[in-house]
Amino acid sequence: MTKLPRRFYWYLIAAAGLAVAAALIGFLWILTKDQRPPLTPTDVQGTWTAWSSAGGDGRLTVRPDGTADLQQVKPEPGCGMPSEPVPSGTYSGPATWVFDTFPDEWPGIRFDYTSPLNGKTCKIYLPILISGQHGPLGFFIHDSRSQYKRDTAHPS
């Protein structure tokens, strides 16, 4: 068996270094290629109406001061309105909102409100996609069939 020249080992180390660098660059490119610009209040303020049958008659009024009115929205279980003999499957009332991103979803807003059913703080996440063709679109994380679209006549 012959000894390999020292130069071979240096080439091997250099090739391994280049492979690691290429893998790192590829990984960073995948992470950043689909970055969307952050949402602004003008992207979200206005009236959002349900445009899917699963959304029912839902309506969201989002104001730039961080307050909102939710009407006939389908919340998570235990966050609806009290009614007899069983709790209602919808919530209507005031809420606050903040920019938030649910893991593995588009950037969006989170509505927080106190459930009149049991007093617990309830959260509704609305990821938002700014579509050039349809305008801002959103859906609820807990019920992705409830889809919302912002009305075109929104305040600026």
Q: Please state, in angstroms and rounded to a whole number, the distance separating the CA atoms of residues 105 and 45.
A: 20
Backbone torsions φ then ψ of 136, nearest 5 degrees: -65, 130
* Per-residue pLDDT tens listing for the chain (156 residues): 466 678 888 888 999 999 999 999 888 877 766 666 778 888 889 999 888 665 567 889 999 999 999 998 888 877 777 765 555 678 889 999 999 888 778 888 999 999 887 788 999 888 888 877 667 778 777 777 778 888 865 554
Q: Are the C-beta atoms of residues 89 and 54 closer than 8 Å to each other? A: no
Q: What is the spatial distance between Cα 130 and Cα 106, in angstroms, rounded to a whole number?
A: 10
Q: Which helix H or strand E contains 24, and what residues bound it?
A: helix 6-32
Listed residue (127, 71, 61, 77) closest to 100, CA to CA? 127
Report yes or no on whether pTM surpasses 0.75.
no
Domain boundaries, the chain: 1-35, 41-150
Measured distance CA(65)–CA(34) in Å, rounded: 29
Three-class DSSP category at 72: strand
